[in-house]
Structure 1
């Protein structure tokens, strides 16, 4: 069988093709983010509720199935894969998947394999990550104050994360710190985070909080526009826009005083949709064509229907025809419900 009818009623069959993916707006899809688990050993207040209900383990794709799905996307033109969660390093035997995907780096079919982590498990995995071909990782770190760190993560151990960062540096991994900018919590700390990162040869990216999933906090109270944060930083630092790109949505500046880079991810004040080259795969085989939209495609059915990848290629192609132009994130007092009901940990942060 060489065609697949997608979930839209009366949709035309899309022929199976291991060729490149281009969405309806002419954007080449070359970047896949994979949430290997929705579970996390932290409960960050802006990300999830303290008492989360996670997916039953029986609903998750096996690591072998995730490898097959990722390999199908590589065959269709994906050049970069980022493993996310939840916390990807809490998935049992996750290094099997990392090592398998690393083989595509050796053949040249994949340009980069990266990881976003909270750092809690880095100390024991850093060297093996490097051995598998990972050269660059993102570590989420919102504060340098151990007490505030415990408050924001609920369960996190600051010292353990610091040990993980140092282990990653020793292993040769290039690190970018990600900090979610939160009003009245860490906005005054961003200069210290910037200096901490740049003194250690690490980049820093600050991110606006996103309206995804029900949490225990009021996101209106948390929301800090990065336009304001940048204006505040420019009272202390000289920021010059630069064309540096990592394949993600951050816009970068160079900080004259430190010589380091600072990125801004602004899904609300200045969205990054016009150049979006990304799709997101969950640990259950659901493909989200946009972080901020609910439309999704079921790839698990096609994956399990046949050992041949023709059905899978067709399901992917049909999904890409539905990739939207952009998202509709908004946070204000009249929009106090999440724009998207699923938590970031489901889709991949």
Structure 2
């Protein structure tokens, strides 16, 4: 089992398969994706080796991220490769939903077990203003298809100060009738957005207090769960989760590592650098990769330093999929 020097065990790999994204979200890529240099993204075979290496060390959950992973034509093959890896029992996908409506059946057929969709506002005009795309209706249609297939769906919404009150109210009404897990995520500062962060960051604690006042009760975390604190209510079909990276002891339950689309291990989303493991990925002996991962994990720090406004190497969230 991958275990760090603080006793935290890592069952969960967030695997980026591209850093390309076709949305222009105001908090991430307001000017769009900038392909300034040639990208050598991990091949399908390299992805198999990465997943096998982590699985051999106890990783049981893989989340495929981007950028936007559906921009890779071989995404169903990537999903299938993860699903077919011995020891992996949960294969999730995070997507902006651009191709969800047309492709969710293919992802399901490949073996996908969980879907996360990013929707920051349920007002079509606000959605377009945030993302640069008028796709809300088809994304919601895609979510309906996923639910019909039996896929558990989580919806990620970044909290923005300018939209919080109206946006939260609309989401709460939607969750009353829609069986999804909606997670409100505090805006995080990255290298490219310090001014935007200063203007738009809002704590999730106000929503947490509102939930508790209105009778929502906490849901026990699973060992491979992400960082959300999740709540349920008897009168709501859906659940509410809160991801509050600026809260006390947020990193104490960290159970996830990240590999970038170019083969770098990131011990934290906000680590100072990615650690190149591509040579180990492509070594003929799979033990070499496993030994490298064990060795590099000794460098993981106890916490991120977001509270000190240190964002490390993360210029924007599309680099690693959050």
User: What is the TM-score with the length of structure 2 in the denominator?
Assistant: 0.92
CA gap 1:260/1:170 in 2 versus in 1, 3 angstroms: closer
User: What is the TM-score with the length of structure 1 in the denominator?
Assistant: 0.85
Q: Among residues 26, 44, 54, which one is paired with 2:25 in the alignment?
A: 44
Task: Tell me how far apart the structure 1 counterparts of residues 198 and 22 of structure 2 sit (CA, whole Å).
Answer: 26
Within 5 Å, which residues of 2 pair with 1:8-27? 20-27=1-8
Instruction: Tell which deviates more after alignment, 208-217 or 86-95.
Output: 208-217
Task: Tell me how far apart the structure 1 counterparts of residues 314 and 105 of structure 2 sit (CA, whole Å).
Answer: 37
Q: Name the residue aligned to 2:156.
A: 178
Larger Rg: 1
2:316 is equivalent to residue 343 of structure 1: yes
CA gap 1:35/1:181 in 2 versus in 1, 3 angstroms: same
Q: Name the residue aligned to 2:64.
A: 83
* 2:60/2:88 contact within 8 Å kept: yes
CA gap 1:275/1:223 in 2 versus in 1, 3 angstroms: same
Task: Tell me how far apart the structure 1 counterparts of residues 166 and 247 of structure 2 sit (CA, whole Å).
Answer: 20
Please list the CA deviations of residues 200-258 of structure 1 after superposition, one character each: whole Å capped at 9, or x if unmatched.
211111110111230496211110101123335566x3222232446110111223442
Task: Tell me how far apart the structure 1 counterparts of residues 26 and 248 of structure 2 sit (CA, whole Å).
Answer: 24
Q: How many residues align?
A: 321
Q: Name the residue aligned to 2:304.
A: 327
* 1:102/1:133 contact within 8 Å kept: yes
Q: Name the residue aligned to 2:288.
A: 311
* 1:201/1:260 contact within 8 Å kept: yes
Task: Tell me how far apart the structure 2 counterparts of residues 200 and 156 of structure 1 sit (CA, whole Å).
Answer: 22
Gaps of 5+ in 2: none
Please list the CA deviations of residues 139-164 of structure 1 after superposition, one character each: whole Å capped at 9, or x if unmatched.
11111111100000123521221222
Q: Name the residue aligned to 2:98.
A: 120
Deviation at 1:340, TM superposition (A): 4.6
Gaps of 5+ in 1: 1-19
Please list the CA deviations of residues 89-116 of structure 1 after superposition, one character each: whole Å capped at 9, or x if unmatched.
1122111111111112xx5x11200011
Instruction: Tell which deviates more after alignment, 267-276 or 174-183.
Output: 267-276
Q: Name the residue aligned to 1:144.
A: 122
* 1:126/1:171 contact within 8 Å kept: no
Q: Among residues 251, 259, 262, which one is paired with 1:284 in the alignment?
A: 262
Q: Name the residue aligned to 1:72.
A: 53
SS in 2 for 1:177: strand
2:188 is equivalent to residue 210 of structure 1: yes
CA gap 1:187/1:213 in 2 versus in 1, 3 angstroms: farther
SS in 1 for 2:101: helix
Task: Tell me how far apart the structure 1 counterparts of residues 307 and 133 of structure 2 sit (CA, whole Å).
Answer: 29
Task: Tell me how far apart the structure 2 counterparts of residues 83 and 241 of structure 1 sit (CA, whole Å).
Answer: 27
Task: Tell me how far apart the structure 2 counterparts of residues 186 and 26 of structure 1 sit (CA, whole Å).
Answer: 37
Task: Tell me how far apart the structure 2 counterparts of residues 289 and 250 of structure 1 sit (CA, whole Å).
Answer: 19
2:76 is equivalent to residue 98 of structure 1: no
SS in 2 for 1:166: helix
Q: Name the residue aligned to 1:195.
A: 173
Q: Name the residue aligned to 2:218.
A: 241
